[in-house]
Structure 1
């Protein structure tokens, strides 16, 4: 079963340098980078845990009460859903706008509302934890947002930790989408 949200389009890797946006169908939401090993590893561990819980639910169902088996099965399904949501977290772009998918929320900003998308050097959170380190962040400034700029992705996030070239390529791609659609 193909999982299109797990990989970025392969056409980006094979495209020429003079084509910053090599996608044919620009109305489809797509992530311009691959999920990082930390994100994929955490999702794999959640799926491993879910398999144990679901197997335990089947055993409990055969030997125990149906309510206990149902509880174990619900927990297993929630773990699978959490792993799939974790894999969808990131920045997505299309001709309609830019979408930042977090674990519990999704925020979509139309290209007309975006003032700027730029890479800045600033303290960033390490793997989303409270500890901050010096790094780079791709930040979004939009109309109607009075607080500080929204960080879309960072060099120390789950997708780009120890992958600075991947961060640079993804940031350049998002900036190219923003440059094309803000002007057009």
Structure 2
């Protein structure tokens, strides 16, 4: 079963003639592939979930169904967390720009977007409190001050750590979507 949220369509990489290569622009799409760090972290979390499911099965065999149910529910929460980790990132469509976090999803319609631009600034390393110098894709909205907005993408997230060319390609694609739909 193909998991559409794991890979961006290959047309983003193959489209040299158009930065917006899709016919169906109403569908939300991630304009880049998830990075190896994100996929590896999700795989480790799913490995942990398999051990928890095995523990639930062992608990059922020892005749404690209520305890096994609680452990099974915990495994489902871990699996949902791994899937949400894979879903995190920036998604675009003709309706707007969506920033999917682990717990919160923010959607900005193109009518409220003033600009999307790459800036050089201190960024959080892998989402931790430690900051390093890097690049960030900043969203400037009409209804919010720029200082309040977290960056959409940075060079030091799970998707782009050690992959500056992938960050540049993703930032250019999101900027192209903003340029296309922001002026409407």
Fold conserved (TM > 0.5)?
A: yes
Distance 2:134 2:92 in 1: 23
Distance 2:150 2:111 in 1: 16
Aligned partner of 1:157 in structure 2 is 157
Runs of 4+ deviating beyond 2 Å = none
Aligned partner of 2:96 in structure 1 is 97
Aligned partner of 2:4 in structure 1 is 4
Please, which runs of 5 or more residues in structure 2 have no aligned partner? none
Aligned partner of 1:175 in structure 2 is 175
Shift of 1:13: 1.7
Distance 1:116 1:74 in 2: 43
Residues matched between the structures, number = 183
Shift of 1:55: 1.0
Q: Is the 8 A contact 1:141 1:150 kept in 2?
A: no
Please, which runs of 5 or more residues in structure 1 have no aligned partner? none
TM-score by length of 1: 0.97
Q: Is the 8 A contact 2:124 2:130 kept in 1?
A: yes
Shift of 1:158: 0.7
Distance 2:27 2:86 in 1: 18
Shift of 1:150: 3.2
Shift of 1:147: 5.0
